[in-house]
Chain A
Amino acid sequence: MSETAVTNGEVLRERIEQALSAAGVTGAFFVKNPQRIYIEVDPTYLVAASRVIFDMPGVRFSIASGQQTRTGFEVLYHYGFDLDDCVVSVRVATTEDPPVFDSISGVVHCAQYIEREMHDLLGIAFRDHPGLDRILLSEDWPDDVYPLRRGKPWVGKVEKRI
């Protein structure tokens, strides 16, 4: 890895950090390499952080990925920084059960669909979502069964939808 490349990663990190602090958001940065930056923010800052990052030039919302961890649940929101050759991921975590985060769909319009998916598969709820309906699972799938959660596999039968 060249020295210039590492510097570029740090420069971008500083730019994001300044933009976030101007909006009163603090976060823990981890520059894994010049192409990958992870920022962990408190869930209360999620919408503000999303707004700041999504409004930066050349930024595109790639997707979010939810997962169950040993202590609870976390969601990573991935943004493509196409002008800087970098993927910036904003991480929020919670130990609450059921897990609830603020919906960022008011800021990032297309995030509503992946939020519906995370709700379907992991049972993560999103406050102020325009319509947290099923997206992948059948309408008659049991309400408390989440395919991507860990633990004992669910055994049962879902009636065929007509």
Chain B
Amino acid sequence: MSDITAPLDGIETIAHPGPWSRAGRALRTFARRSPLSAFWGCIAALIIVIAVAAPALPLYPPLKSDFRAMTKPPTEKHVFGTDQIGRDTLSRVIHGSRASLTIAVSAVVLGTTFGAFWGLACGYFGGRFDLISQRLMEFLQSFPDLILAMAIAMALGAGFGTVIVAIAITRIPFGGRVIRSVVLSLKEMSYVEAARGLGASHARMMLRHILPQCVAPYLILATTHLGVAIIIEASLGFLGAGIPPPTPTWGNMLADSLNAGLVPPWWLVLFPGAAITLTVLSFNLLGDGIRDALDPRLRGSV
């Protein structure tokens, strides 16, 4: 390979495409084929960048109260207004994105990965193990997901890690069932049979030959479930089963606004909810785009 791309005398050649430029080309193709998803992907990326950079941004501290500016509507000084103890709403909305995104991403990755490996084992081994696992997953799916997450978060005691675990458990059956069905059809492929014929061990067959084919459905599943996880996290916060205050999360802020008086001030309701909607919308549309790009057959199914 190296002699083919070696620079010729006096002529500048194009460098061998490295992984980065390949990724860049894939992104460009994605943007050309579905510009709408690419646009929403940019919004999602912007939301993530703002969340990561929040401590460096010129904002009021999210926990500092200002008793001269309590429950003030939006002004030039506080663009999104202040809450009942004078905390800046803009700062809290932006800092709230950190908790919401961290929890949603970790919960989805944790739950889907666990489910995926479980589904891989179920599909590969089949038999009694598969039968029992399927029943267990169905039991988990017999609960509306928010209710199961509420019960687990309540039993474990509210906190950052417990909320992640609570949401992750509700994601396990989805990962399990989708990956299991993928594995069931892969198992019949002739290349897998060939590997078996060559005497590959179970672990090698699963990890080396079947697992790589599960990456696309896994990615699709994870991105499409991010939005759901964000809404569950916000609902848990709103119901007082999420991260305890004063940590700003969007759900906590909406719950707080109900304590701000008989009628909640509109700016305390509007902005956190709009942040949830915008984030979920962008992740959902990005997920749809990724699904269509990676596997058009799954359109509308995952």
A and B from one complex = no
Which residues of A are in contact with B by a Cβ distance under 8 Å? none
Q: Which residues of B contact A (CB under 8 A)?
A: none
